[in-house]
C-alpha cells in the first residue's frame, strides 16, 4: 500500500487514467466493429462511411497513447484493403 501522499496521489491518477484509456480502447473497437459489420453485410457504401468515422478515432488512440502507431496503421491498412476488395467485387458483379 502507498505510504506517502505523492504515492497515494499516483494511485488515484493511475485508476482514473486506466478507466479513461479503457473507454478509449472500447470506443475504437466499437468503430472497428461497425466497419467489419458493414463489410460482412457486403455493403461497400456503409463500409466506407464507417471507415471514414473509424480512421480518425484509431489515429486519436495513437495520439492519446492507447495504441502503438504501427498497430493503428496496420488496423487501418487492413480495413482499407478489405473495403477496396469489396468495392472491386461489387463493381465486378455489376460489370459481369
- The full set of domain ranges for the chain reads 28-95
Nine cell digits for residue 42? 457486403
At 48-86, the pLDDT tens digits run: 999 999 999 999 999 999 999 999 999 999 999 999 999
If pLDDT is split at 50, 70 and 90, which confidence band does 95 have? low
At 17-44, the pLDDT tens digits run: 999 999 999 999 999 999 999 999 999 9
User: In this structure, are residues 57 and 31 in contact, taking their beta carbons and an 8 Å threshold?
Assistant: yes
pTM above 0.95, yes or no: no
pLDDT at 96: 56
Amino acid at each position: 500500500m502507498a505510504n506517502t501522499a505523492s504515492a497515494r496521489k499516483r494511485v488515484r491518477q493511475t485508476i482514473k487514467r486506466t478507466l479513461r484509456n479503457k473507454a478509449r480502447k472500447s470506443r475504437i473497437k466499437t468503430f472497428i466493429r461497425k466497419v467489419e459489420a458493414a463489410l460482412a453485410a457486403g455493403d461497400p457504401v456503409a463500409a466506407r462511411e464507417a471507415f471514414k468515422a473509424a480512421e480518425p478515432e484509431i489515429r486519436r488512440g495513437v495520439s492519446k497513447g492507447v495504441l502503438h502507431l504501427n498497430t493503428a496503421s496496420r488496423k487501418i491498412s487492413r480495413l482499407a484493403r478489405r473495403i477496396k476488395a469489396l468495392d472491386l467485387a461489387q463493381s465486378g458483379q455489376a460489370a459481369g
